[in-house]
């Protein structure tokens, strides 16, 4: 889900930090200079790829509505041959073997049933030369851990997933599938989340939860979480670039 936030003087350092993190993640692409990239899950990552890379971006999403209603900030300002939108399941990418330079999984794997993680990565390995995994790490202060639990339980209540894992989990999966690790990074936030930003983000989450019929008890927990949160920091981020050969 794309959340557009408004920068203010009070939140400038936070947005500068977010820009630094996105730049550091995208800098990993320079290791392989991909010309054809599949971005699994339409969102901010798609926008960043279009703004900072050349070649063809194939953005895929299981929610066809996200593709039909793709914001103008993502699609309209770019040439047609730079962006292709495809509605499909990441577990069954409709692509030829070894036809893609790189598949980007930006905050995606934790939304897939853990029992299917191996299948998802195995399928990607067949079609792509490289895979770039970007995942939040389940660490941080007590409030962050509490937020993770609320998210996990809310998604489970509607048959979805929000299951954060330690870096070792993803690295072990890649090893079992005979991927070769090209680069691994842990990126940390240097700033806390301004309350006005956190309020906007949580409001967007609540709207989405209502849309997918998350029980009211979890929405209430999220509202209470916002009320009691004075200082909040996002977790560290794992970035792993892996080669299929």
- Determine the Cα–Cα distance for residues 205 and 151; give it in Å rounded to an integer: 10
Query: Tokens at residue 92, please?
Result: 């069954």
Q: Is the pLDDT of residue 10 over 80?
A: no
pLDDT the model gives residue 79:
47
Please tell me the number of Cα atoms within 13 Å of 89 on its side-chain side.
8
**For the chain, what are the domain ranges?**
9-243
What are residue 87's DSSP bridge partners?
Answer: 61
The string of DSSP codes covering 12-43 is HHHHHHHHHHHHHHHHGGGGT--SEEEEES-S
- Range in 6-20, 26-40, 64-78, 90-104 the model is least confident about: 64-78
Fold of the 9-243 domain: Rossmann fold (3.40.50)
- Determine the Cα–Cα distance for residues 53 and 45; give it in Å rounded to an integer: 11
Digit-coded pLDDT (tens) for 27-86: 999 999 999 999 999 888 998 898 888 899 999 999 887 777 665 556 554 444 588 999
Residue 44's CB is within 10 A of a number of other CB atoms, namely 18
Structural Rg of the chain based on CA atoms? 18
Contact between residue 14 and residue 191 where contact means Cβ atoms under 8 Å apart: yes
Average pLDDT on 113-119 reads 97
Tokens 């991927």, residue?
179
Higher pLDDT pick, 118 / 69:
118
pLDDT the model gives residue 72:
58
Average pLDDT on 10-18 reads 87
Residue 213's CB is within 10 A of a number of other CB atoms, namely 9
């Amino acid at each position: 889900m794309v959340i557009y936030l408004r920068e203010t003087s009070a939140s400038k350092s936070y947005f500068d930090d977010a820009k630094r993190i996105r730049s550091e993640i995208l800098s990993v692409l320079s290791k392989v200079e991909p010309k054809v990239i599949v971005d699994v899950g339409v969102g901010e990552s798609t926008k960043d790829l279009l703004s900072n890379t050349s070649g063809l971006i194939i953005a895929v999403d299981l929610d066809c509505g996200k593709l039909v209603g793709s914001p103008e900030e993502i699609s309209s300002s770019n040439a047609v041959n730079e962006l292709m939108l495809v509605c499909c399941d990441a577990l069954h990418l409709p692509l030829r073997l070894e036809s893609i330079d790189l598949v980007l999984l930006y905050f995606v794997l934790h939304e897939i049933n853990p029992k299917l993680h191996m299948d998802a990565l195995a399928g990607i390995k067949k079609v792509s030369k490289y895979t770039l995994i970007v995942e939040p790490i389940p660490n941080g202060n007590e409030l962050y851990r509490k937020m993770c639990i609320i998210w996990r339980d809310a998604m489970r209540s509607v048959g979805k997933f929000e299951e954060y894992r330690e870096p070792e989990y993803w690295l072990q999966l890649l090893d079992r599938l005979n991927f070769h690790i090209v680069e691994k990074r842990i990126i940390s936030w240097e700033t806390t989340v301004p309350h006005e930003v956190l309020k906007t983000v949580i409001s967007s989450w609540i709207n989405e939860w209502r849309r997918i019929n998350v029980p009211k008890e979890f929405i209430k927990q999220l509202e209470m979480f916002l009320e009691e949160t004075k200082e909040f920091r996002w977790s560290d981020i794992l970035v792993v670039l892996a080669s299929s050969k």
